[in-house]
Amino acid sequence: MQNKNEPYVIVLGTAQDGGYPQARCHETCCDKAWNTKSLKRNVSCIAIVDPANKKQWIFDATPDIKYQLQLLKNKSKINNVSGVFLTHAHIGHYTGLMYFGKEAISTKNLPVFCMPKMKSFIKNNAPWSQLVDIKNITLKSLQNS
């Protein structure tokens, strides 16, 4: 039995970058998922929750992030996200950053942890650079050790 104050992991998605069902896929596997809501799967994402300190971090900002943030809030009962870790540069793992911009959540200096190349990409390429320029996110470098 888990102690209520111990950190834990929540799985917020298990599908490949495009989610499941895949866009414009009409194979038997996806046809079933298009017609059966319970078969739908969010893009791969996890969260670490620290209930004692009321903090939580998401690993990857997916195209499904608005659903994943709601799922996280429902499970953890914590509203805010303490930071986002980008694990790699596949487009399905950072496009959800747009929801932290002024058009949606409009976060203030949300820490986004990433490797140096990814940091440079976000900082120097629109529309992602706008998130940095208006301080919706603050990029934090990770190191490969």
What token pair was written down for 143? 């190191």
Domain span at residue 69 reads 8-141
Query: Is position 128 within any domain?
Result: yes
CATH number of the domain within which 33 lies: 3.60.15.10
Nearest alpha-carbon partner for 105 in 76, 77, 73, 75: 73
12/47 Cα distance (integer angstroms): 7
pLDDT of 1 > 60? The answer is no
pLDDT at 2: 64
pLDDT of 26 > 70? The answer is yes
pLDDT at 33: 92
Query: Is position 80 within any domain?
Result: yes
Question: Binning pLDDT at 50, 70 and 90, where does residue 120 land?
Answer: very high
Q: What would the pLDDT profile of 66-110 be if each residue is shown by its tens digit?
A: 999 999 999 999 999 999 999 999 999 999 999 999 999 999 999
Query: Is position 76 within any domain?
Result: yes
Structural domains in the chain (count): 1
